[in-house]
Structure 1
């Protein structure tokens, strides 16, 4: 793939009209944090969330709209340009999150219609038939945001035998068994009323998981039983400093590769909060906040030396310097103009 000075490459998904370049390939100079736009891909409306497969040969995107869809692309190994493979309807509204399952399927969460999908992928990586559709039903504590189910993310466990769905509308993390392409309900863990779970990650120790809650400004720490698949709430940590009284909606959540630090984004406070993770306990401590150099940090990616942030409302992608030893972040002043960026997907392979 195209490369200069060992450039770090990443794709940006965005809210865009079909004729606009909603998916862009960008580069980060690891020497000085400089960002550049390489090229863009049009032809899909609101590709607000994008993911790459393990060898970065295929990219998948949602089309977040009332008649939702998912789309697949072949990635040119030389210049990173995208060639459409195909697309498929999710039979619902506003798909907002995707995951690739180790069993070879594509998983999707549909926010407004409150359901999840699994699609088969063929030998070319094209999207095949829908093998599962599970509808969530119910409502939560807040009538303004939890009047119905709102599936916001879908995350497989490490071996792909189960998936975990954060439903903002129901205040639940719901678990499913994956078998022969089907999703069978296993159980759920209930969060405090009005929490609004959004994104979810597993710790590499296999014994803990974390969820960020959009409506009550917290991160939940879970003890995880990898044999039974159970989650148990063990801590709730605030995403905001105690003296902040403004409106805020946490969004994205990521661990560092070594599992020592957890990061979450605050939309409103416009910051990334960094927590130290207790070894063995998984508990969070010593929060630090760093400004994102923009407005509404919807999504971000954690690299070894940098964190790349998509600031949706200020139309910019910003890079923060990361200290691998302390996990602390500092602003670099480096920014790239991108209209309504909503997702950062690094190309995690040797170039």
Structure 2
């Protein structure tokens, strides 16, 4: 088995691939040079699109984004990061597109885009999954006949307290807060976004007081004040993800906050860019600073790697592109390297 050097950062990449093709890749980025390489890969899963590591890093959870959705559990070899299949469970929903793990590692949460439903699975021995403890199916529709003909749960994210699970439903223009009561999801609050927004992904600020949602259809970010004791969001701001004067079609995709809490990034498909916002440290509101080309097409996902690296998965140009983050102002500079990879859609650092 090929080993990795101490100056390399490891990360997994999920892709759209058939079960007989390599679908999950372990990759490495050299912290000194920025060069990337594929360490190993594995087959056996249809569309292993979204991935999540458990808190101790020993298990990788993978959704199979198909009509018969599944969650697969892989045990990760600590020495080689090689994956070994341990378990798989049906989500009883179509096209699971997001998976997350609570901070205590006790619960795995999934969202099924096409069927508009969300799941909870208890985590048992060795990271395997018990029988599904919650399946909630949303109902309703939004104003966009093409994209909001029904519910489309696009993400489910535990809040910092672990008491709540927050769902962005693109089809309903809603952010739904559930209480996680020992694996049961109990509706706590429902918050409407502006009609036609299409909320997609949510991130919490490191201070847990603020949260940010990227709205796919309106190409906006919404900034919120978050009261984690009450599980309540208060809207602070809506701001465009696109540069002024942009006239082309496109949809926004992913969103991340820097560990220092001063910068927020969001990706635009169509414009094929990453927008940098500065976060006001008093109010939590955003100021757009610059747009950087992703040097590829359709930046569906990106993530922040140790060492101040922002790594973009360009789905339709089949490449990963790395950028160095300036520690002072958060601006991005391409480090000169790309990694060719077929239809990459999710990046998860091994930390």
Same fold (TM over 0.5): yes
Aligned to 1:49, the other structure's residue is in SS state strand
Distance (whole Å) between structure 2 residues aligned to residue 301 and residue 190 of structure 1: 27
Q: How does 1:191-206 map to 2 (within 5 A)?
A: 191-206=193-208
What residue is the counterpart of 1:162 in the other structure? 164
Q: Which runs of 5+ in 1 are unaligned?
A: none
Q: CA deviation at 1:187?
A: 1.0
Alignment of 1:211 onto 2:203: no
Q: Which runs of 5+ in 2 are unaligned?
A: none
What residue is the counterpart of 1:96 in the other structure? 97
What residue is the counterpart of 2:292 in the other structure? 290
What residue is the counterpart of 2:132 in the other structure? 130
Which of 170, 173, 177 is equivalent to 1:171? Answer: 173
Q: CA deviation at 1:5?
A: 4.2
Is the CA contact (8 Å cut-off) linking 1:189 and 1:232 kept in structure 2? Answer: no
Distance (whole Å) between structure 2 residues aligned to residue 79 and residue 19 of structure 1: 23
TM-score normalized with structure 1 length: 0.97
Which of 279, 282, 301 is equivalent to 2:281? Answer: 279
Alignment of 1:23 onto 2:53: no
Deviations 1:206-262 (A, max 9, x none): 211000000001000011111111111110011000121001110011000011100
Q: CA deviation at 1:152?
A: 0.2
Distance (whole Å) between structure 2 residues aligned to residue 189 and residue 316 of structure 1: 36
What residue is the counterpart of 2:190 in the other structure? 188
Alignment of 1:56 onto 2:57: yes
Aligned to 2:4, the other structure's residue is in SS state coil
What residue is the counterpart of 1:36 in the other structure? 37
Alignment of 1:329 onto 2:332: yes
Deviations 1:12-32 (A, max 9, x none): 000000011110000001111
Which has the higher mean CA deviation after the structures are superposed, 126-135 or 303-312? Answer: 303-312
Distance (whole Å) between structure 1 residues aligned to residue 148 and residue 47 of structure 2: 23
Aligned residue pair count: 348
Distance (whole Å) between structure 2 residues aligned to residue 209 and residue 317 of structure 1: 27
What residue is the counterpart of 1:236 in the other structure? 238
Is the CA contact (8 Å cut-off) linking 2:275 and 2:288 kept in structure 1? Answer: no
Deviations 1:269-323 (A, max 9, x none): 0011110000021000132111111100000111342101100000111111111
Q: CA deviation at 1:181?
A: 1.2
What residue is the counterpart of 2:270 in the other structure? 268
Q: CA deviation at 1:110?
A: 0.3
Aligned to 2:274, the other structure's residue is in SS state strand
Is the CA contact (8 Å cut-off) linking 1:5 and 1:29 kept in structure 2? Answer: no
Off by >4 Å, runs of 4+ in structure 1: none
Distance (whole Å) between structure 2 residues aligned to residue 2 and residue 244 of structure 1: 45
Distance (whole Å) between structure 1 residues aligned to residue 303 and residue 103 of structure 2: 21
Q: CA deviation at 1:332?
A: 2.1
Distance (whole Å) between structure 2 residues aligned to residue 276 and residue 57 of structure 1: 34
What residue is the counterpart of 2:224 in the other structure? 222
Deviations 1:49-75 (A, max 9, x none): 011112211000000011111100000
Distance (whole Å) between structure 1 residues aligned to residue 204 and residue 103 of structure 2: 15
Which has the higher mean CA deviation after the structures are superposed, 149-158 or 322-331? Answer: 322-331
